[in-house]
Structure 1
Amino acid sequence: MSSTPATTATAAPAAPLRRFGRFELRALLSKTPRSLLWLVFDPRNGQELLLSMPREKPASAEALAQWKRTADAGARVNHPNLAHVVEQGEVELWPYLAYDRALGETLEERLRRQPAPLPLDVAAWVSQLLEGLAYAHEAGHVHRDLQLAHVLINATDQIRLVGLEVAQDLTGTAQDFNTQSRSAVREAAEQDVLCAGLLLHRLLSGKPVLDQADLRQVLDLMQPQGRELVRLGWETPHPIPEALRAIANRSTDRQARQRYHQARTFLRALDGWRTAAEQDEGGPIALLMDKLQRFGHLPASSARLSRILGAAGLEGQHAAALSSLVLDDMALTLELLRRVNNALKQSGAANSGTMLNMQRAVAMIGLNGLQAAVRSLKPWPGPMSELQATVMRSLMKRVHRAGLIAQNLRPAGYDPEVIYLVCLLQNLGRLLLQYHFPDDAQQIRQLMLPPEPTEEAPHPPGMSEQAAAYAVLGCDLDALGSAVARYWGLDADVQHMMHRASPDAPVRHAGHDTDIIRLTCSFANELVDAMVQPEGRRKQALELATRRYARVLGLGLREVMEALKPETARKEAVASHGPEAAREIGSANLTLTANLDIPPIVPSVPPDGPQASALRRRLAGEDAAPDTLPEQR
């Protein structure tokens, strides 16, 4: 029995108890050049706390008072993803903020137990962090030292941020702390967002970024301050979806102007990917559906057409003339497409396929239905500003031109209206984005611009459209168009044809009519994209697009040039072989101008068919009375 005291007497002496004021120091959870985070025990309340404090003591009493004022204001910002401060105090002029340990473990501690979280879980965690960060930034407060240890996560994966306004710059004694510039706060907020991007990289890659545990030190190594690039590698614990990879890489792009500058923008892209990955009807698609209800799909681009089609006296007009009028207005074309196919779906006749012929659609819906469709459209420009409406018109001209080029490139026997409508539907996501989310569309275009050249990268490429859309919305533009197509009741074949061929993948053999139509329209869209390139790169882009599709579609550069400039080809044919040869050039009656002006839609009747009605002649400018309808005969 006496051996127990002897054993106790020979045991190593207990470590001396370390204290900070009344708190017992248990563990140092984070130590950076800007702040400290301690796990402590409060014997007064019998609970564990987390103490967050600056790394250096404030240089003066004024500096300490300023720290307290700023930290107290930050502590009053109340949000579910910001940890609640249970106490603010000081010990021997060392200020601190105390948080309840029961809020959860730090993200660093979680990674020791779960070193490879799933990408979907990572996105959910960082989204919550960005929610709290965005709320704090909008309240005028910043963190300045965002680390893994400053992010708490509980058993239900709720995220809370600790340490807001702890890492203040309080080293100068003569500094006027009441006149801190807004630009400095804005710069600190952007650094918070960049650190959130580095945290996303750390969680997805499963290893420290640039082998640095301190995320703030990584900022000094990254371009443009340093020379290091931070991009998500391919050797990750789990496969990273392309959209999430694009979001992560944009958050740490080497060009500062390409990065996310606001937590809310970063959050929106990440949330968009999460909802798409979870196959949920949320995110940008849900927001788009809501806007469709309030503002329609597109505004009517021609008030004159709306007046004519909304008036009386059209009963005697041929369906071809009415379909030409419909095709002259993209909003009316899409509205008629929606109405007719919804009617087919409700009647149980949807098994016959999607209606993609405007003449048949007009005949099916009738004049009353056509006039109702006209009245349902929002007038131009809808909710768009003048500048946004100008960009929208330019985009519509590009889409219209692509449709005409696709008609000129189509193989023999294919309905030109079907070709035109499929080409229009391939651009549906772009049109909807520009109308309903013009700011996001502008951001995507900016990301697609090549960054500034450097010595290491004299000819840097810009982002692809898909990667830029992922980085802004969290989903690509085809997903927006496909969601609306499903909502309108368009069948699977049309939804397949709506997806452009990927510009990064080789063009495969077209074994079915739907594949031929899809590739023909994709080719036309790529040609229009090539023609708006700077003049020095235009010819190369046209030749590259032609080489991609030449073998599959059986087209050469000559046929492409004829499709781009059919009027020139027609004149050459007339000069060489007479007027009859011009008719052999497909759709040679279309005029495509280099400045992207909208030409007239190809008539639904053949060139040698019935003569145009008085209504069509007046629409083409041949009638002297544009505002009166011809009398019924």
Structure 2
Amino acid sequence: MALQKIGRFEIRRELGRGAQSVVYLAYDPQLEREIAIKTLHFSRPDAAQNAALLAEARTVSQLRHANIVPIFEAGEEDGDLYLVFQYVPGKNLAQYLKDAGALSPVKAVTLMRSILEAVACAHEQGIIHRDLKPSNILLDEDGIPQVMDFGIAARIEDLDSKQGDFTGTPAYMAPEYIESRTVGVRGDIFAAGLVLYELLTGRRAIQGSDPFQVMRRITQEDLRLPSEVSLDERIVDVLYKATARNPLNRYESVAQFLQALDSYLDPVEEEGAATGGKQSTLDFLLRRMRHKSDFPALSESVSAINKIATSETESIARLSMTILKDFALTNKILRLVNSAYYRQAGGGNISTVSRAVIVLGFDAVRNIAITVLLFEHLQNKSNAAQLKDEFLRANLAGILAKDIGTLTSTRDVEQAFICAMFHNLGRLLCQYYFPEESEEVKKLMGQKEIGEEAASLQVLGMSYEELGIGVARTWGFPPLIVNSMRKLPGGNVRLPSTPEDKLRVLAAYANELCLIIAQAGPDERARELKKLAARFGDSVKVEERDLRSTIEKSIEQVKEFASIIRLNLQQTAFGRQLREWMGEKPAASAAGEDDSSMAGTILSEQLGGELLPAAVVGEGQAPDSATAQAILTAGIQDISNTLVEEYKLNDILRIILETMYRAMGFKRVILCIKDARHNTMQGRFGFGPDTTEIARQFRFPLSFSPDIFHAAISKGVDILISDTNDPKIKPRIPDWFRKVLTSETFVLFPLTIKGNPVAMIYADKDGAGDIVIPEKELSLLRTLRNQALLAIKQSI
């Protein structure tokens, strides 16, 4: 019978378990909140040990830090100890790395800093962790790390250098602890270094066939990176110092470790390097922004998307995979592409990022992704209302530029959108990262009656325009977009002579029009619009009637966008101005109404009551059966819509693979195609970590071989392998597979025409037994496979 209560806490479901512990999601009826409860069961009950652990839990419960999961209380029931923690929705770092693989050095260091700050807080209180590892580090829904499980931590002043049994996880023990049971601050530093290794490489640092082999390697071998991993020597030096076998060669304190990471992010300029001028000021401001926990993550995401935008090969697959890593981002993007505005592009409901790119175009999806990313990083600030105002203005400017570009036959309206949106990036960034300086700029403008650029130059040492351009360059935006961020001189604007000039003029026009919408009252609008028409009369030829119609259309699009990203227009000054411009009366919101409740209602109406399945899928989690079926069904319809259009075979196959990947929570899905010349099956592309590299190595002959792959291909049967190490199965797993992958469970869907194999879909997960496919989902997966087969037949 399943456990139903522990103390007063009502058990809801199991979250995870270890050798001596089980973690449950539970409900506290007294305080009416969800909590996490961890039970500890020891093979030999020991009242003295339990008393000591309870005393330690009381000590740990005093720790207060944003990156530490607090202990609410502790107790004992039926001889077993239990600890009650704050429930943190999300996943642990081990699960995250299992899905994401190696992180970029900047992202790894940013995460590591937050982890170390939590450990430093504990050390200051005289507590060490003693079991620091990725599975004891939770990532909340915003990706912020929180360290938990100080349950075996030891008071530093009470340390006994000759403790008896080992306590902790062998793969993260320090050499001195294994050899002499010495416990100290440097042991936590060693474990933190191993966590950093895992962040940088995507794999565990110390591996072995059993705990004793692992501990032997820790004490006898220096940690070194694999030859195929190439990293900056500066971060490698930090890693090796943290994981030195001799504790005296490690950092003395977590503070030193943190300082080394900060030096990596912000290296000191070499002697003789230029230290003056605008570049020095920009570098100084960038360093300040990098110390904000979210700026490196935002920079990395935008830079990654921009890097893909400049690639001439596999851009659709790479953009899709980049977006799919973030399920919250995927969800919002799919809702946006199914909104009324984007549905004008045709194609019916869109259920995959791959099809969104096909229907809307690469640049449109890139712009949506960057817009959502930027908004997501404007939350939870004391000046959130002002930030949302700035963001809405930027978004409206982008939409106006796109719509006016369409009206004036501009060739690339998606470029116009991003140019106009980032026209005032410097002001937006200053409002977000330097709110005090932003207020000082406004104060100067009021007191001295000087312009915004002059005031920002005086306060920051550079103008908003220069700041925005500098950051845009570091994010990898192309010169075409960067140059459009430069303001136009006063007076009448001449007819642009190049496409680049046309985008710059259009971005400026849209932003000046947006300023009128934001600031002009009903009595001033006509006069201000005439001034704008006179200034841009030679360069942007739009009739007044068409302009007013375009403004109304663009405002409707902003309202729809705001509802999808759950932003209540009535709660922002600019939002209220938009409603007033449209002649709407202020909405009477119920007290306490939040953005999400309003947005949910509006969104439901817009999408006909349908919510896309991605809304309930968490990253790295296998969806529940109903959700999986919904995603598969939507994907099948998506593909049916595409098959009746002109299509490229690879596009259809990508949609099919992405649907399988999202619906079933596979770690990776890879398509293999028959190479007739060499009579082999060769991996082509897929979704999941390292699939590009793995697909190159995924190659096997079609001639007879007594293995699982040949059995599936030759007989045309779908095969699920639950455990590659099962004694009955192990001999039939080919050597080439074990060299390429470590997955313990996978499924094969062969594609055959008249008995001849033409392709195969491979999907896997890491752990034995992780793949379970109910009958309904299997039937839908086979339909997808048959659609792939139909597409291949039609292309032959």
Which band: TM-score by shorter chain?
0.3 to 0.5
Instruction: Give the TM-score normalised by structure 1.
Output: 0.36
Which protein is richer in strand relative to its size? 2
Instruction: Give the TM-score normalised by structure 2.
Output: 0.29
If asked which structure has higher relative contact order (CA below 8 Å, sep 6+), I would say 1
The higher radius of gyration belongs to: 1
